[in-house]
Structure 1
């Protein structure tokens, strides 16, 4: 029976999920913005802060931890099928540098992100690479530029998706206290305002809604030190490749990305593969993206 979701495509979504979660967790510039009131109220004690202020403060606090171990679970459902990709590794919370292994069962791929370039090593015998090559290379900055807008899953972790700066009290609510992996946390629900994320750019807002759907709930579990211990992102993804690139017939896939953070301050030593071992597929992905945009 033909499956509507293929492992390779799920793995690709998982790769995007790693970057998306890194961006949403707290990788953002610490210049002037909405975090000022949260920082000022920190001295008054966490119990006196509003839910929005707590979420604003965790942006800076988690980034200051510099690095962490991560566990990822990406579940995608479409056409009655559902598949889950899991992964684990290490992540630099400041610039998105990471090393992970992810996949399903015995079929695992290795992934690295170095200087905003993504490298993936498919499972042995997959037949997806030319002879003599063991890694695929995707320049995320080039791909982002070719798409014409700052897509959140392919943007600069140092400056993009710092959504906490535009949060208002109505965007955040406290769910309650929960133990998570042996750590006492407080669960918060954030409803992202895509119009605020687009900063008045109507084209980018349309792109965000195409990539993420109209409703994008983000759940955060924040510990007593103000560090994010878990983040869960739910979104809608168009799987145009399964429908021949036609926007009108593209499948709607529901994706949920859950990322757990632990061992803050762990070593993150990640190097890019040797150039001779890589094949650059950025251009191919850019052309594919352009075709989808024209037919969508």
Structure 2
């Protein structure tokens, strides 16, 4: 399979940047504060809660499940073309450790995240690695620091959902009752506030808007136990590294990532590959994707 030349880079941005945002909004801080009117449709016998309070509570309950199986589908569309990358594996909901197989068509790669380091094993004969190496390594903390996005929300899934503590009722609405993989859930939509996500850091907010666009709707499907069963994120991915800045000339693509969670409590036993088998490409990735972070 030969990927479209128009969208292959955007697919890479989607698989990397969008997944990081999925983790960013999917698990972490256990704050459960909230305000607003009670949700009259709450289950009998349970404390009535507003949509914002339900979304805040699902973070704590899902994280307390510790681990889960995950299925991922990322679609990136640009210039009339689209590409979809799918994956499945296991995820530690508390520290972000994960193991997944991801790919497009018949081309698959293995991905691991251990101690904030991402490892990817490309298909054999891909020509992406030096002789004798089978894994590429990206230090996520170092990458974030080099691009000025080193706050915990961008690197540590275990502390990344803190913005929910400041959700207001205008940020969340109930869509309706729906079934996800045979499980009854309630669908909620969150309008992600990038200023809150940036924690009041105006420079960080500008970088997030340059990379993700101004509107980032997040959809959550929450079961009767308060666990997140599906999460969907839509955003505008800006390829500012290729255009040389974050202005109007930056090429854009529409990205959607859907993450399904099941098998809560499953074993997650993931180890980093042997150092002798890896090559560190953190600096290369930083040079390729960091232009937008150094501008503005």
So what's the TM-score if we normalise by structure 2?
0.89
- Aligned residues of 1:135 and 1:278 also touching (Cα < 8 A): yes
Equivalences for 1:21-60 in 2 at 5 Å?
Answer: 21-28=22-29, 30=30, 33=31, 35=33, 45-46=45-46, 48-60=48-60
For 2:5, the equivalent position in structure 1 comes to 3
3-state SS, counterpart of residue 148 of structure 1: coil
Report Cα offsets for 1:103-137 as digits up to 9, x if no partner: 11110011000000000011111101000001110
Report Cα offsets for 1:203-246 as digits up to 9, x if no partner: 011011112110110000000000000000111111245x4545
**RMSD over equivalenced CA pairs, Å:** 2.6
1:149 aligns with 2:149: yes
Aligned residue pairs, count: 289
Report Cα offsets for 1:6-58 as digits up to 9, x if no partner: 1x752453244333222211212x3xx552779xx99x954611111100100
Give the gaps of 5 or more residues in structure 2. none
For 2:18, the equivalent position in structure 1 comes to 17
1:99 aligns with 2:111: no
For 1:238, the equivalent position in structure 2 comes to 238
So what's the TM-score if we normalise by structure 1?
0.89
CA distance in 2, matches of 1:293, 1:223: 38
CA distance in 1, matches of 2:198, 2:292: 21
Report Cα offsets for 1:239-263 as digits up to 9, x if no partner: 245x454544321011000000000
Equivalences for 1:1-296 in 2 at 5 Å?
Answer: 3-6=5-8, 10-11=11-12, 13-28=14-29, 30=30, 33=31, 35=33, 45-46=45-46, 48-150=48-150, 154-241=154-241, 243=242, 245-248=244-247, 249-293=249-293
Distance 1:185 1:149, change over 3 A: same
Give the gaps of 5 or more residues in structure 1. none
Report Cα offsets for 1:146-180 as digits up to 9, x if no partner: 11124798421122343211101111100010011
1:102 Cα offset (Å): 0.7
CA distance in 2, matches of 1:289, 1:202: 21
CA distance in 1, matches of 2:139, 2:149: 15
3-state SS, counterpart of residue 157 of structure 2: coil
